[in-house]
Chains A and B, each alone.
Chain A
Amino acid sequence: SQQGEEDPQALSIQEGENATMNCSYKTSINNLQWYRQNSGRGLVHLILIRSNEREKHSGRLRVTLDTSKKSSSLLITASRAADTASYFCATIQGGSEKLVFGKGTKLTVNP
Chain B
Amino acid sequence: DAGVIQSPRHEVTEMGQEVTLRCKPISGHNSLFWYRQTMMRGLELLIYFNNNVPIDDSGMPEDRFSAKMPNASFSTLKIQPSEPRDSAVYFCASSLGTGRNTGELFFGEGSRLTVL
Contact A103 B42 (CB under 8 A): yes
Is B15 in the interface zone, CB < 8 Å from A? no
Q: Chain A's nearest CB lies how many Å from the CB of B26?
A: 12
Contact A98 B56 (CB under 8 A): yes
Contact B107 A33 (CB under 8 A): no
- Among B59, B101, B102, B110, which residue has its beta carbon within 8 angstroms of that of A42? B110
Number of A-B contacts (CB under 8 A): 56
Is B106 in the interface zone, CB < 8 Å from A? yes
Nearest A residue to B42 via CB reads A103
Q: Contacts A98-B56, A101-B42 hold; do A43 and B99 have CB atoms under 8 A apart?
A: no
Contact B91 A2 (CB under 8 A): no
Is A14 in the interface zone, CB < 8 Å from B? no
Q: Chain B's nearest CB lies how many Å from the CB of A8?
A: 15
Contact A42 B42 (CB under 8 A): no
Is A85 in the interface zone, CB < 8 Å from B? no
Is A96 in the interface zone, CB < 8 Å from B? yes
**Complex interface residues of chain A between 74 and 94 (CB less than 8 A to chain B):** 88, 90, 92
Report the Cα distance A97→B56, complex, angstroms.
9
| Residues from chain B with Cβ under 8 Å of A102 in the complex | 42
**Chain A residues near B (Cβ < 8 Å):** 2, 30-31, 33, 35, 41-45, 48, 88, 90, 92, 96-104
By Cβ-Cβ distance, the 7 closest A-B pairs, closest first, are A42-B107, A97-B99, A103-B42, A101-B43, A45-B104, A43-B107, A30-B100
**Chain B residues near A (Cβ < 8 Å):** 4, 33, 35, 42-43, 45, 48, 55-56, 58-59, 91, 93, 98-110
